[in-house]
Amino acid sequence: MVTAANTSAPLIEKHTIGYVPPEDRHGKTRDLFTLWFGGNIAPLPIVTGALGVQMFHLNLVWGIVAILVGHLVGGVLMALHSAQGPQMGIPQMIQSRAQFGSLGALLVVLIAGIMYIGFFASNIVLAGKSLHGVVDSVPVPVGIVIGALGSGIIGIIGYRFIHVLNRIGTWVLGAGIVLGFGYIFTHVQTADFLTRGSFNISGWLATVSLAALWQIAFAPYVSDYSRYLPANVPVAATFWTTYLGTVLGSSLSFIFGAVAVLATPVGMDTMDAVKLATGSIGPLMLVLFLLSVISHNALNLYGAVLSLITLVQTFAYRWIPTAKSRALLSIIILAACCFAAVGASANFIGHFVDMVLVLLVVLVPWTAINLIDFYAIHKGQYDINSIFKVDGGIYGRYNPQALLAYAIGIVVQIPFMNTPLYVGPISEHINGADLSWLVGLLITSPLYYWLANRDSAYKRKLSSGKLANAL
């Protein structure tokens, strides 16, 4: 139950990576539905969803099936991470110290930080293009800066404001995308709308992988937005509100991108196709998407800042920064991303696809280890004080079992990879289909469980952690 003390939570968030005490907990699980539904009605998932028919040459039916399969599977992992937030009361990345150790977690935190920055830069490029599409006189680089500043203000204010905006966005953007679908289906401009493309196993699996990765990519920060909920909220409620919101919102956006591209001539940029396919309501759709990408991109900036703070706090363990420190770091990251995004905007889709395919390889083993450790080994019981100690407390500086499983989880994916950097022999043999993420999950999960349970020293740590949560 939310008490009187926590219903008056301040608008500007005062916590960063520190534990959120019971008196500062607030909100309801339904806020998670609106956050992940509204946040996924945005240009970036629309562009990503279009790739199934645009780059992998699926037809509409098989593209939709691949999108739904990927989101339904990946959403399970994402929502399981979300359910950790109320029980732990700390951000996801700092919680990874309980699996990898205080120093062992640095690699994972660094990878997550790079991911956030990559998504933030990608989103501000789309914000710039959307603003240019609405107002031709605004150059894309200027639009990029405006979009970044908007996201920066939201990210600096923090958690509560992000939730408020997405509650509003759920209704506005939900109605907008339904209206957009209706217009496109009644104004199709191509004769091959239903026949362009065909089923091919490599393209279908690639589209499934992109959709699954879209969900897995949220895993390193999804519980950051549930950690303020009261600790006694049901795990099932946290899971289902997150799962339904993220799967429904992202699936609609992915499918919208595919539909818009098929309804317009071949070769068009996805957002140009959206503008053309939606005709008279196109400017309205672009305005809605512009507002959405600015709001949603605040999550990426927020996650990047928390990752950077986690990296620094590993060595300056007494430092738990305030809202001012978080604001300063936000401005630094924002400025760097604006500089990079202006230079990368000409080949945005190519850079984005390269990034997500590489992320697929490094994120899957982490998510497997984190979930197995939380649900099957520790069963949600951790010593929070140890997580913030420089020596890792009962979790130590390194956890050899987690690091070994993580390394093996990456290695076993290599033969199944299909990225611009490398194509594995098995992937090449099956016409370029990328099965690396599935192999990584299936190998890493049981391997880590076995390694953790056979180690007597780790079992003693586990017993110590179960005695009590110090906070």
336-348 confidence digits (pLDDT tens): 888 877 766 556 5
Tell how far CA 449 is from the center of its chain: 25
CB-based burial, 388-410: b 16+ in 10 Å, e otherwise: bbeebbbbbbebebbbebbebbb
Q: What is the pLDDT of residue 5?
A: 42
Instruction: Count the helix, strand and coil residues of the chain and give each as a percent rounded to the nearest 5.
Output: 75, 0, 25
Q: What is the pLDDT of residue 250?
A: 95
448, 402 contact by CB (below 8 A):
yes
208, 295 contact by CB (below 8 A):
no
Kindly give the parts of the chain with pLDDT less than 50. Answer: 1-7, 467-471
**Residue 214 belongs to a domain:** yes
**Residue 153 belongs to a domain:** yes
3-state secondary structure (DSSP) of residue 418: strand
List the domain range (segments joined by +) for residue 304.
4-345
**Residue 414 belongs to a domain:** no
Q: What is the pLDDT of residue 18?
A: 73
**Residue 43 belongs to a domain:** yes
**Residue 250 belongs to a domain:** yes
**Residue 441 belongs to a domain:** no
pLDDT tens digits for range 142-200: 888 888 888 888 878 776 777 788 788 888 888 899 999 999 999 888 888 988 989 98
**Residue 442 belongs to a domain:** no
Here the CATH number for the domain that contains residue 175 is 1.10.4160.10
Q: What is the pLDDT of residue 456?
A: 54
Q: What is the pLDDT of residue 465?
A: 52
**Residue 95 belongs to a domain:** yes
The domain tally of the chain equals: 1
| Axis-axis angle for helices 159-186, 270-277 (nearest 10) | 60
Q: What is the pLDDT of residue 10?
A: 60
